[in-house]
Structure 1
Amino acid sequence: MLSVQMEQRVKSTLKGTRFESVEAVKAKATEVLNQLTEADLQHCFQQWKSRMERRRDRQGEHIEGETVATVIGNE
């Protein structure tokens, strides 16, 4: 599962580019994802873990609009 920040990174890289095929889009998206560092992935996991712990503390109750603002890499 991609974090919102990682998904935004892929989308911003692909935005405005015309691709010849679906395969070309997949190849470029894969290239962007392969550039993620171990630190990026660890950060994503830690955020997920934190969200799950908060949800556990609320006995699974979802709070609409809960967001986590973070920056990955050089963004």
Structure 2
Amino acid sequence: MDSTTDIWDILWLFFWSYVFIAYLTVLFMVLADIFRDQGLSGWGKAVWVLFLVFVPVLTAFAYLVTRGSHRDQSR
């Protein structure tokens, strides 16, 4: 086994671990923001969470684009 292969495997592991942690952070931030938003109805929250469960990456991106400006106002 070549030692450079081991180094690249470790670097890829670190890279994908970082991507996964960033992904989870975005999902939890969006989820917390959904429940913190007073202007969003209960049904609206349920729909966002439902889509977040079944299509997480697309829904998180759509939420940040459509409701991202409300994040600063809700604090």
TM value normalised by structure 2: 0.32
Relative contact order higher in (CA < 8 Å, ≥ 6 apart): 1
TM value normalised by structure 1: 0.32
Structure (1/2) with the larger helix percentage: 2
